[in-house]
Amino acid sequence: ADTTIVPFLSDGGMPYLYLAIHHDVTEQKQAEIRLRSQAALAKIAEMAALVAHEVRNPVAGVRGILQLFEARPSLSPADLRLTRHMIERLDLLDAHIKALVQYAEPRSPRLETVAIRPLLEEVVASLQRESSNGATQYDVRGSDARVLGDREMLQKAFSHLLANAREAQS
């Protein structure tokens, strides 16, 4: 609340009555908080765009060179493992940058009925394609549950969970 207190003075200059005026500023404070949040998100979006441009492009170039290096038949097994590991780390960096960009520009969920088992099988297949060494084994079990959710957001969440589990394993 914003409060103003006004004294009423007698002829001798002494207060004999006070008038208090209260004004509820809750909406104004909430609007200020929203503005600060929007300004912070705008800065994050600006930073994410800069990172996406300045980091992702060189990372993609380095990844491409590593893939060419990986295809060499004369590469020793140790160098091949190291090259594949570097490619995986670059892919992880790219995923973090994508997440930062998505955080800076969130979208509303598009709700639909999603079958979880086929979605998990897609995520596992994608992770297996990304991981060239095949060291991690995935086993999708159970009946097919259906949930109301955003298919793309669920896919990303499962992908991040499994990728983090894979990283923790190595």
> Beta-carbon neighbour count of residue 69 at 10 Å?
15
What does the pLDDT read at residue 131? 65
Q: How far apart are CA 95 and CA 105, in angstroms?
A: 15
What does the pLDDT read at residue 133? 54
Q: How far apart are CA 51 and CA 57, in angstroms?
A: 10
Q: How far apart are CA 151 and CA 110, in angstroms?
A: 8
Which mean pLDDT values do the consecutive 10-residue runs of the chain (170 residues) have? 93 94 92 87 80 83 91 92 92 84 77 93 84 72 90 88 78
Q: What is the pTM of this model?
A: 0.46
- The total number of residues written for the chain in this structure: 170
What does the pLDDT read at residue 11? 93
pLDDT in tens, 132-152: 556 678 888 888 899 999 998
Per-residue DSSP letter, 11: T
* Residue 15, CA atoms < 13 Å, CB-side half-sphere: 6
Q: How far is CA 73 from the centre of its chain?
A: 39
What does the pLDDT read at residue 132? 56
